[in-house]
Chains A and B, each alone.
Chain A
Amino acid sequence: MPDAKMRILVVDDFSTMRRIVRNLLKELGFTNVDEAEDGAIALQKLNAEPFEFVITDWNMPNMDGLTLLQTVRSTPTLKHLPVLMITAEAKKENIIAAAQAGASGYIVKPFTAATLSEKLNKIFEKMAVA
C-alpha cells in the first residue's frame, strides 16, 4: 500500500482539473499534494524539493506531459520517480508512446477515485517487486 503521507505533484494546465485530481486523492487519503501548471514548472518543483509521486496531464503548453516524463527519466536524481499519465484519449499510439517513455501508469479521463486507487496500488505493487 502506498504511504498516505507521500508527497504527490499534480501537473495540469487546467486548474479545475488539478482540483478534481486533488479531491480524488483526498478521498483516497492523500493530502500531501502540490500542483504545477505545466511540465516546465513541474520540473522546477521536482528539482527543488522531494516528491514521491507525479500525476501529470499529457496536453499542456510550454512543456507537455510526455516531455516531462522523458526529462524525468533522463535525470539521474529523478529517474526512479513513479509517473502516472492522465489523458483524455484511449488511443493505442498514445498508450504506446507513454509506455515507451517510461510511464508507470496510464489513466483515461474521466475517472473515479476507485480507478485512481487501483492504478496507484498497481504502480506501488510493481515498485515493491522491483
Chain B
Amino acid sequence: MSDFAGMEDLLQDFLQEAGDLLSDVDNKLVDLEKSPDDRGLLNDIFRGFHTIKGGAGFLNAAELVTLCHRTETLFDKLRNGELALSPELMDMIMAATKGVRNMFGDLSSGVQPPPAPADLLISLKAAAEGQPAPVVAQDAAAGADAGSPDWDALHAAVSGQQAAVSGEVIPAAASGAENEHGARPAGKEDARGNLPAPQAQHKSGGGGGGGRRVDVARENTIRVDTARLDQVLNLSGEIGLTKNRLTSLRADILAGKNDSETLHALDQAVSQLDLLVSDLQNSVMKTRMQPIGRLFQKYPRIARDLARQLGKDVELVLAGEETEVDKNMIEDLSDPLVHLIRNAVDHGVESPEERAMAGKSAKSLVRLEARQEGDHIVIVVADDGHGMAQEAIRAKAVEKGLITEEEANTLDDRQSFNLILMPGFSTKTEISDVSGRGVGMDVVKTNIQKLNGSIEIRSEPGKGSVFLISLPLTLAILPVLLVLLGDQPFALPLSLVREILPIERDKVQEVGGKSTLVVRGEILPVIPLVRLLGWQQERYPEYGVLMQTAERSFILGVDSFAGRDDAVIKSLEDFRPHGVAGVTTLSNGQIVLILDMKELLSDPGVINGRVPALEAG
C-alpha cells in the first residue's frame, strides 16, 4: 500500500506545488544556459531545490532530500562565484532535475523513491567540491533503478564522513557504480533507442523533462482563486433568493391569484433566474480554468534537450501563457503538444549547416502560442524550418497506399497537409528515436478531436510550418445543430458543420455508384443520416448539412432542422450505443441524442452507395 498513509493531502499539495517549482527551475535552467553568470537565476534555482528539499523532509523522502541537497550545494557554490558553470556541469544539473522529477513520479504513485543513480550523486558532490566530475550520462531516468544493495556502501563512503572523502574514494566509488550498471553509461543512448516501444514510452513519460508518468492517475485537485469561488457562492445565494420568490409566487398562483401584477412578477423572477443560472454556469466553468502557462512552461526544456541531442540550435518562444483553458483540457493537451514540439524540432527545423546554406539565421525559432478567439482557444505550434512540399506528401500517401493516385489529384492544399494526420503516415522512412516513439501525428489528431477540437496545418516550403489547434472553451457545453428525421431530433456538433443546403434531386449525380452533389466545384458524397443510423429510408432527404471532419467532407442528408442549441452534454458512460456521443435535454424536456460523426462514419459500408430514389412520401 501507500507509504504515505495519513499524509495523502499533504503529499498532493507538495507534488502540485513542488512540481510547479521544478518546472520553473527547468525553465530557468534553459535561461541559465544563455546567461550562465546571472546571479538572480542562480539564486532562484538554488532556492527551488532548497524549498523542495525542505518539503521532502517532512514527507520522509530521504532520497529526494539527498538529491536536492547535493544539487543545492552545487548551486550555492555557483551563486557565490566559487564555481563556474560548464557544459558538463549543466548536463549534470539537468540529470539531477530529471532525477527529482522521477522521484515526484514515485511519490505520486504512493511509494518512497529509490535512491538517485549513484554516479549522479557522486558527480554532484565531486563537482561541488571543485573536483573534476566523472562523466554523467545524460539520462538519469535510465539509471533510476540503481537501488541495488551496493548503493548503501557507496552512500556511506561518500556521505558518511565528509572529511574522509578524498580524491581516492571517489574514483573507486564511481567505478563501483559503473560495475553496477554494467556497460550502460557508454552505450546508453543506443540502448534507449532499442527499447521496446511501451517501455520507451514509459521512460520518456517520466524522464522526458516534464511528461507525467503514464501510469500516474490524473491530478484530481485544482487551485482556484478565492475571488472566483466567492462569485459562485454569491450567485448560488442569489439563485436561492429567486427560488424563494418563485415559491411564493407559485403559492399565490395556486391560490387562484393570476392578475397581471402576479404574472409580471413571475415573468421577472424567471428572467432573473435565467440570467443567474447562466452566470453561475459561467462562474463554475471559470473555476476549472487554468492558465495554459502551467503546461507551456515544461516545453522549453524538452525542446532544448532534444535540440542538443540532434545538434541543432533551437529556441522555443512562448506566448499567451496567461490564456485560460479548462483543466482537463490542459492535461489532455500535454501529450499532443509534446509531440508537435518534438516534431518541429526534429523534422521541422534544419541543421545549422542547412540553415546557413539557405541563408537563414543559425538559431531556429519554434513558437508555441495560445490565444482566445471568440469562443475558441487557438494554440499555435510554428517553426521557421524547411516547410513541407504538398507534392511530396501526396506522393508519400499514395506510396503508402493511404489514398489512390486519383484521390491524390483531387486534393487541395489544406487536404494535402491533412494527409500527414492519417494513421500510418510518416514522411521520414525510418522512425527516429526522438519524435517517432511509435506514435504518429494521427494520435495528435485523435487527442485533439476527443476535446472537440480541430487541427489545421499550413506550410510554406523554405519558410516553415504552422500547426493550428482550435479548441472549444469548455468541454461541458457543446454548440449543436438540431436536425430532424421525421419527428425525431438529433444533435450534430456545430464545429463540424460548414453549411446547410437544400438537396435538389435533379442535381444529385450518380458517380461510381455513389450519390454526389457538386458544391462550388467540389464533388461531395451525399450520405443520408438514416443510412448511418441503419434505419429504413422512407423519404428522400430534403436538406443537406455540409460537414467536414479531418478526413473528409460530405453532405449529410436530413429531413429538416429544429435550430441550434448549446447542449449540456450528459455522457452515457456505462451504456453508450455506437455513434452516440451523449445526450442532452431540450427546453421542452425532450431527450436528444448527440451523434458522434466519426464513429458513425467508421463503418466503410455506410459511406459508399447511392441514395435510393424513393417516391416522395
A residues engaging B (CB < 8 A)? Answer: 13-17, 19-20, 23, 57, 59-61, 88, 109-110
Q: Quick one: closest B residue to A88, CB to CB?
A: B54
Report if A20-B10 is in contact (Cβ < 8 Å); known contacts: A14-B54, A15-B17, A110-B57: yes
Report if A19-B51 is in contact (Cβ < 8 Å); known contacts: A88-B57, A109-B57, A110-B57: no
15 A-B pairs besides A14-B21, A16-B14, A19-B13 with CB distance below 8 A are A13-B51, A14-B17, A15-B13, A15-B17, A16-B10, A16-B17, A17-B51, A17-B55, A20-B55, A57-B54, A59-B47, A59-B51, A88-B50, A88-B57, A109-B57
Interface residues in B, total, Cβ within 8 A: 16
Report the minimum CB–CB distance from B376 to chain A (whole Å): 33
Please indicate the chain A residues that have their CB under 8 angstroms from the CB of B232 in the complex: none
Residues of B1-49 whose CB lies within 8 A of A: 10, 13-14, 17-18, 21, 44, 47
Within 8 Å of chain A (Cβ to Cβ): is B53? yes
Report the minimum CB–CB distance from B41 to chain A (whole Å): 13
Report the minimum CB–CB distance from A114 to chain B (whole Å): 14
Please indicate the chain A residues that have their CB under 8 angstroms from the CB of B44 in the complex: 61
Q: How far, in whole Å, are A61 and B21 apart by their CA atoms in the complex?
A: 13
- Indicate if the CB atoms of B47 and A110 lie closer than 8 Å: no
- Chain A CB within 10 Å, residue with most, of B14, B50, B58: B58
Please indicate the chain A residues that have their CB under 8 angstroms from the CB of B17 in the complex: 14-16
Q: How far, in whole Å, are A121 and B58 apart by their CA atoms in the complex?
A: 22
Q: Quick one: closest B residue to A89, CB to CB?
A: B50
Please indicate the chain A residues that have their CB under 8 angstroms from the CB of B50 in the complex: 59, 88
Question: Can you give 25 contacting A-B residue pairs, CB < 8 Å?
Answer: A14-B55, A15-B17, A16-B18, A16-B55, A17-B54, A17-B55, A17-B58, A20-B10, A20-B55, A20-B58, A23-B10, A59-B47, A59-B50, A59-B51, A60-B47, A61-B44, A61-B47, A88-B50, A88-B53, A88-B54, A109-B54, A109-B57, A110-B54, A110-B57, A110-B58
Please indicate the chain B residues that have their CB under 8 angstroms from the CB of A23 in the complex: 10
Report the minimum CB–CB distance from B195 to chain A (whole Å): 35
Report the minimum CB–CB distance from B151 to chain A (whole Å): 23
Report the minimum CB–CB distance from B103 to chain A (whole Å): 16
8 closest A-B pairs by beta carbon, nearest first, are: A110-B57, A110-B58, A88-B54, A16-B13, A16-B14, A109-B54, A14-B51, A109-B57
Please indicate the chain B residues that have their CB under 8 angstroms from the CB of A17 in the complex: 51, 54-55, 58
Report the minimum CB–CB distance from A38 to chain B (whole Å): 11
Q: Quick one: closest B residue to A112, CB to CB?
A: B58
Please indicate the chain B residues that have their CB under 8 angstroms from the CB of A14 in the complex: 17, 21, 51, 54-55
Please indicate the chain A residues that have their CB under 8 angstroms from the CB of B58 in the complex: 17, 20, 109-110
Q: Quick one: closest B residue to A87, CB to CB?
A: B54
Report the minimum CB–CB distance from A42 to chain B (whole Å): 17
Please indicate the chain B residues that have their CB under 8 angstroms from the CB of A19 in the complex: 10, 13
Report the minimum CB–CB distance from A73 to chain B (whole Å): 24
Q: How far, in whole Å, are A70 and B17 apart by their CA atoms in the complex?
A: 29
Q: How far, in whole Å, are A110 and B55 apart by their CA atoms in the complex?
A: 8
Please indicate the chain B residues that have their CB under 8 angstroms from the CB of A61 in the complex: 44, 47
Q: How far, in whole Å, are A101 and B8 apart by their CA atoms in the complex?
A: 37
Please indicate the chain B residues that have their CB under 8 angstroms from the CB of A20 in the complex: 10, 55, 58
Q: Quick one: closest A residue to B47, CB to CB?
A: A59
Q: How far, in whole Å, are A21 and B60 apart by their CA atoms in the complex?
A: 15
Please indicate the chain A residues that have their CB under 8 angstroms from the CB of B10 in the complex: 16, 19-20, 23
Q: How far, in whole Å, are A15 and B60 apart by their CA atoms in the complex?
A: 18
Q: How far, in whole Å, are A109 and B56 apart by their CA atoms in the complex?
A: 10
Q: How far, in whole Å, are A16 and B10 apart by their CA atoms in the complex?
A: 7
Report the minimum CB–CB distance from B42 to chain A (whole Å): 14
Residues of B41-96 whose CB lies within 8 A of A: 44, 47, 50-51, 53-55, 57-58, 60
Q: How far, in whole Å, are A124 and B111 apart by their CA atoms in the complex?
A: 40
Report the minimum CB–CB distance from B159 to chain A (whole Å): 15
Please indicate the chain B residues that have their CB under 8 angstroms from the CB of A59 in the complex: 47, 50-51
Report the minimum CB–CB distance from B414 to chain A (whole Å): 47
Report the minimum CB–CB distance from A89 to chain B (whole Å): 9
Q: Quick one: closest A residue to B69, CB to CB?
A: A88
Q: Quick one: closest A residue to B55, CB to CB?
A: A16
Q: Quick one: closest A residue to B61, CB to CB?
A: A110
Q: How far, in whole Å, are A17 and B17 apart by their CA atoms in the complex?
A: 10
Q: How far, in whole Å, are A15 and B54 apart by their CA atoms in the complex?
A: 12
Please indicate the chain B residues that have their CB under 8 angstroms from the CB of A110 in the complex: 54, 57-58, 60
Q: How far, in whole Å, are A20 and B14 apart by their CA atoms in the complex?
A: 10
Report the minimum CB–CB distance from B30 to chain A (whole Å): 20
Q: How far, in whole Å, are A99 and B561 apart by their CA atoms in the complex?
A: 80
